[in-house]
Structure 1
C-alpha cells in the first residue's frame, strides 16, 4: 500500500490519509442530500437520484485515487445540477430529465476527447503564473464565503446585498464554535483539527436544534436512473441521446456545460494542488494529465448514471489541509459514499454550520498565496484581481477565470504586448466572451 500510493514518499501516513478522507467527505457530504432533492424537481425519482449521486461519486473518487493518486474527490457538481433541473427541464428547454442527462453525457465525451488530444493541459500551460495563483486565491475566498454564508454569519441584505447575520441565532452560534475550534486546533497544529471541528460543532448543534436528528432510515437502492441517455423517453420511441441531435439548439447547452466543467476543474485542481503540495513554484500541477482524464470521464459517467455531471470538488482542499496527500484518502471518501447510499440520514446531521470552521480555515490557508503575484505590473495584477474578486462575487469559479482571461488579453493588446500572449489564451478568452454573450 505504501509503495502503490507513495505515502512515505509524500511525507504522509495512513492515519493522515484516513483523517484527510474523512474531512473531505464530511465537507462535501451535503451533496448526498442536496443533489437528489435538486434532481427530483427535474423529474428523477428520489431513490434513483440518491443512488446515482452516491455511486457516481464513489466510482469516480476511487478512480481518481487509483489512477491519478491525488486527494481530489469528485461528486455531482452544484451549479450544473441546477442547470439540469431549472434550465433544461423546467426552463425554456423543457426537456425530459433523460435528455438533460444525455446533454451532460455528451459534454463529458467532448471534454474527454479534448483532454486526450492534450488541449486541456495546453490551456493550463498557457495561463500566466500570476493568474494561476489568482485562481487558487479566488477559490479560497469562495470557500470561506460558502462557509460563512451556510453558517448564517453572512446573509442577504436588500440594502447592501450582503450583511452580517444574527450572531445570537443558534445557526450562527454553532458556526462560531466551529470556527473557534478549527482556528485553535490549527494554531496548536493538532492533526485532524478540521475534522474535529466538524464533529464538535455537530454535537454542539444538537441541544441548539441546529443538528437535525435522523427521523427515518433508507436502506434501499434504485439503479433505474443508470444509462439515462440511452433510455427511451416515455410516450415516444426515441432514445434520449437522439433528442439532443434532433434539437440542435440543445448543443448550445453542451458548449455551456463544457466551459463550466473545463475551467471549474482547472481552478479546483490548482487549489487542491497548492494545499497538497503537488503544484510547483511556477504554478504547474504535477502529473496533471491523469487527473484531467479521470475528471473528464467523470462528467460522462455522471450523465450516464443520472447524477448530473460528476466533477472535482473544491472541498477536497479541506482534506488536503487536514493531511491528505495521496489517493488513499479517496478510497476512504469513496467507501463512505457507498455506505451512506444506504444511510443518508446520518450525513444529514452534519449541517452547513458544522463545516463552516473547516471551510473558513481552508480559505485562510489558500489566501496566503497572494504574495506570489507581482502587483507592480498591471498586465498581470489587474487580471489577477479580476479573477480573485470575480470568483466569490459571482459565485462561480468559471466566471472569475473568464474575467481574468479576458482582461489579461485586452490589457496585453492595448499595451502592444500581443506576442507575449499564447495563442490558446486568445482562444479561451474568445470562448469566455461567447459564453457570457450567449448566457
Structure 2
C-alpha cells in the first residue's frame, strides 16, 4: 500500500504533489459535479419511470465512484468521471424510444463502451489524439473553457434562453438580476474572484462553500426531508440482445462519435490546464486513461445510468492544485459516500457552483494566447472550434466542425500534405456523423 500511495503522489511528469492539494482539488471537483446525481435521475426517469428516481441517484453515485477510483489507480491522472450530460438525454429521449425500451438503450451503451475499448487497444483513439494539430488542441481546450463558463452563466441564470424562443426571438438573453439564484451567484462570483486574485489556496472550494452559505441564508437551499436506504433496482438490466439490431447501428455510431471525441477534448483540456503534457505535447499514459474511460461507458450501461465519461469539471480540481490520480480516488470515495448521503450532495444549489465554473472557464482560456493568428489556414478552423463548442453545447460537434473545416481549408490552399491521413479519415467520419444524425 505505501508503494501505491507514493505512486499516486507523483504526477505524470514525475513531480511530487501533496495529499492536501489532491484532497482540496477533489473537493472542488466533486462539488462542481455533484449536480449530476439529481440531474441524471431527472433526465433518465423520463424513460425509466418516476418511481426509479431514487435508484438512479444511487446507481449514478456508484458508477461515478467506481470509475473515478479506476481512473486514479490505473491511469493516475486528475480526471473524474460520471454519467455524461448530453449522452443521458440521448439515451432517455431518443435511444429508449427507438430501441423499444430503456433496457435496450442501456444495452447500446454497453456495446458502445466495448467497441470504443477495442479502438483504444488497437491504438486508434490514441493515434487520433496525436494527429490533431497543436492549433486545434489549443482551441479545443479554450473552447471547452468557454463551454464551462456558459454552463456556469446558465446555472446562475445570468444568461437565459431568449423569449420568445428562436427563430422569433434571440438565442440568448440577459437574466433578471432580481432573481435570488442570480443574485446569490453574483455574490459568490465576487467572493471567489477576490479569493483567487489574492491567491488564497482553495479559493474555488471556499467560494462554493461560501456561496452555499449565502443560499442557505436566502432560503434557496433544499434541505433533505427523508433518508431512505439506497436502492439499486435499475442496475444489471441492459438488454444486449435487444440492442443488437441493424436498424440501431446509426444510434450506436452517434453514441460512439460523441463519447470518442468528448473524452479526447476533455483529456486535452485538463492536461493543458494542469501542465501535464510531455515535451512533445502528449499526455503520458494516455492509453490507460482512454481504456478506463471506455470501460466506464460500459459500467454506466450495466448500472443503468447511461454512459460514464470524463468530466471537464475536473479542471476545477486541477485549478486547485490537483495533479495526480489521488485526486480521482478521493472524488470516487466522495461519490461512494454520496450513495448514502445523496440528499446532502443534492442540497448544494447550481447557483453555488456556478461561480467556480465561470472562473475555471477563464483559467482554461490561457492556452489560446499561443495560437498563431497570422497562419489563417489553421487559425480559422481553431476559431470555428473555439466558438462552436459552447454555442452548439457539444464538445463533439465543435471538434467535428473544426476537423472538417481544417481539412477543407488545407485542401483548398494546396497544403493537403501537412495533415496526417488519419485527420482526413476522422473528418470524413464526422461528415458522415453530421449527415446521419
TM over 0.5: yes
Question: What is the SS of the residue equivalent to 1:370?
Answer: helix
The size of the alignment, in residue pairs, is 425
- Structure-2 residue corresponding to 1:168: 178
- Structure-2 residue corresponding to 1:325: 323
Q: After TM superposition, what 4+ stretches of structure 1 lie above 6 angstroms from structure 2?
A: none
Q: Distance in 1 between matches of 2:100 and 2:371?
A: 45
- Structure-2 residue corresponding to 1:392: 390
Query: What is the root-mean-square deviation in Å for CA atoms of aligned residues?
Result: 1.4
- Structure-2 residue corresponding to 1:42: 47
Matches within 5 A, 1:343-362: 343-362=341-360
Q: Distance in 2 between matches of 1:208 and 1:433?
A: 49
- Structure-2 residue corresponding to 1:241: 240
- Residue 224 of structure 2 is aligned to residue 224 of structure 1: no
5+ residue gaps, structure 1, are 230-239
- Residue 114 of structure 2 is aligned to residue 109 of structure 1: yes
Give CA-to-partner distance per residue, 1:74-129, whole Å, 9 cap, x none: 00001111011111224xx1521110000000000000000000000000111100
Aligned pair partner of 2:17 in 12, 16, 36: 12
Structure 1 contact 211–350 (Cα < 8 Å) conserved? yes
- Residue 91 of structure 2 is aligned to residue 84 of structure 1: yes
Q: Distance in 2 between matches of 1:21 and 1:178?
A: 20
Comparing 251-260 with 276-285, greater Cα deviation is found at 276-285
Aligned pair partner of 1:196 in 191, 194, 206: 206
Structure 1 residue 222, shift from structure 2 partner: 2.2
Question: What is the SS of the residue equivalent to 1:342?
Answer: helix
Aligned pair partner of 1:209 in 205, 219, 228: 219
Structure 1 contact 129–282 (Cα < 8 Å) conserved? no
Comparing 44-53 with 153-162, greater Cα deviation is found at 44-53
Question: What is the SS of the residue equivalent to 1:121?
Answer: helix
- Structure-2 residue corresponding to 1:54: 61
Question: What is the SS of the residue equivalent to 2:340?
Answer: coil
Q: Distance in 2 between matches of 1:382 and 1:356?
A: 30
Q: Distance in 2 between matches of 1:177 and 1:437?
A: 44
Structure 1 contact 7–14 (Cα < 8 Å) conserved? no
Structure 1 residue 130, shift from structure 2 partner: 0.3
- Residue 409 of structure 2 is aligned to residue 404 of structure 1: no
Q: TM-score w.r.t. structure 2 length?
A: 0.95
Structure 1 contact 88–94 (Cα < 8 Å) conserved? yes
Q: Distance in 1 between matches of 2:85 and 2:331?
A: 18
Question: What is the SS of the residue equivalent to 1:217?
Answer: coil
Give CA-to-partner distance per residue, 1:266-301, whole Å, 9 cap, x none: 010011111222124654222211111100111111
- Structure-1 residue corresponding to 2:36: 31
Q: Distance in 1 between matches of 2:423 and 2:101?
A: 36
- Structure-1 residue corresponding to 2:289: 291
Comparing 187-196 with 340-349, greater Cα deviation is found at 340-349
Structure 2 contact 9–19 (Cα < 8 Å) conserved? no
Q: TM-score w.r.t. structure 1 length?
A: 0.94
Structure 1 residue 168, shift from structure 2 partner: 2.2
Comparing 44-53 with 418-427, greater Cα deviation is found at 44-53
Q: Distance in 2 between matches of 1:420 and 1:153?
A: 43
